């Protein structure tokens, strides 16, 4: 048995139905650790949903400005100290963009998972921590962006989804879906316009986090584009999310960021729903062009792909998810990595 202390992003709520990919992956691993007889401790915001023990850092601030982030980082740092005093931790697993600001230098074996594009992280922090912690990437595409000295020491554990939860339906309905964090780099106005050109209604589901830039983007770029077949339904989860994805004709992912993975695309494929995505980072690897969806370059080509998406075999989408995106396999690899780091540093306890 190992005791794992997982530390979420200081402004991220952990849960299987959360919008942020890092928070969902952490929740998946937390559940898998408990199911396999390990001890899971999670440092995260109040309201996080975990299977193990939550060490709460406080509530999500109403406005996510620089001052709020500074206070959240300090609260996370204090929570880590409390957890280390209370539990005999074998390995710490850091998931947040701000890992270098919250993790004290305590000499405990550490794994750092980089969920975001490599350019989001301070290069100095990556170089410093790669010498005393194990860095993990969530896709080969993401790992290829690491500087060579760091890349050679990093490990890759690809993300997955719950194949028992996300399952196909017998038939698709006449609508498209876009889903995720509502922010500029996700480029949802392109999805709205492409679906409108293709004559297909669009359902946009997601969360507008209270970052000023995200709120402004929604008010200025998303809200005015709604109507005429496009509607925004906010964040969803559970059975409603599964029904929405499995009943869609296609899922649109017009991201302009160098995506490190795409849980939404994986969830869609597990539901037998093809994905139409821009060639952004790992999206070109997640979506098999012509087999499980289409890789496109702009709004006109996305609209054209929507019109022709019926040629994609929905059974092939599900088969690809089973072959490539099973969260059980992903969690097995995470646990093996955490166990090996704990063992190598001599802190593993026998069951």
pLDDT digits (tens, 9 = 90+) for 185-196: 999 999 999 999
Sorted by sequence, the CB contacts under 8 Å of residue 232 that are 6+ apart come out as: 204, 205, 206, 222, 223, 226
Q: What pLDDT, on a 0 to 100 scale, did the predictor assign at position 116? A: 96
Report residue 346's pLDDT band, with 50, 70 and 90 as the boundaries: low
What is d(CA 320, CA 81) in angstroms, rounded to the nearest whole number?
A: 43
| 89 shares its domain with 218 | no
pTM score of the predicted model: 0.93
pLDDT digits (tens, 9 = 90+) for 105-142: 888 999 999 999 999 999 899 999 998 899 999 999 99
Taking the chain, what is the end-to-end CA distance rounded to the nearest angstrom? 5
Mean pLDDT of 245-262: 96
| 59 shares its domain with 202 | no
Q: Flag the least confident range among 158-172, 223-237, 284-298, 327-341.
A: 158-172
Domain membership of residue 349 (yes or no) is no
Domain membership of residue 243 (yes or no) is yes
| 127 shares its domain with 187 | no
| 232 shares its domain with 314 | yes
pLDDT digits (tens, 9 = 90+) for 209-223: 999 999 999 999 999
């Amino acid at each position: 048995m190992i005791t794992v202390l997982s530390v979420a992003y200081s402004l991220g709520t952990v849960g299987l139905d959360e919008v942020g990919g890092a928070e969902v992956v952490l929740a998946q691993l937390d559940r898998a650790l408990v199911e396999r007889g390990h001890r899971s401790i999670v440092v995260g915001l109040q309201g996080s949903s975990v299977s193990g023990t939550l060490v709460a850092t406080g509530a999500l601030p109403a406005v996510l400005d620089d001052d709020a982030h500074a206070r959240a980082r300090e609260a996370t740092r204090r929570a880590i100290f409390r957890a280390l005093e209370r539990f005999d931790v074998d390995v710490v697993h850091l998931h947040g963009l701000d890992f270098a600001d919250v993790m004290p230098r305590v000499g405990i074996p550490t794994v750092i998972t980089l969920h975001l594009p490599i350019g989001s992280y301070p290069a100095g922090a990556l170089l410093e921590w790669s010498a005393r912690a194990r860095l993990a990437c969530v896709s080969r595409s993401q790992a290829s962006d690491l500087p060579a000295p760091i890349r050679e020491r990093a490990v890759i554990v690809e993300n997955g989804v719950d194949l028992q939860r996300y399952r196909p339906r017998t038939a698709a309905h006449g609508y498209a879906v876009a889903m995720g964090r509502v922010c500029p780099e996700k480029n949802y106005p392109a999805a709205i316009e492409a679906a409108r050109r293709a004559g297909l209604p669009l359902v946009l589901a997601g969360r507008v986090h209270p970052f000023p830039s995200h709120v402004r983007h929604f008010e200025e770029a998303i809200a005015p584009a709604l109507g005429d077949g496009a509607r925004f339904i906010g964040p969803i989860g559970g059975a409603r999310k599964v029904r929405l994805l499995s009943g869609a004709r296609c899922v649109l992912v017009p991201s302009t960021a160098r995506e490190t993975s795409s849980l939404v695309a994986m969830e869609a494929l597990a539901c037998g729903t093809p994905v139409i995505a821009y060639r952004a980072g790992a999206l070109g690897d997640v979506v098999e062009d012509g087999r499980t969806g289409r890789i496109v370059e702009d709004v006109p080509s996305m609209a054209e792909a929507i019109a022709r998406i019926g040629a994609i075999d929905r059974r092939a989408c599900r088969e690809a998810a089973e072959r490539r995106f099973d969260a059980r396999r992903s969690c097995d690899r995470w646990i093996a990595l955490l166990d090996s780091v704990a063992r190598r540093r001599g802190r593993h306890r026998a069951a």
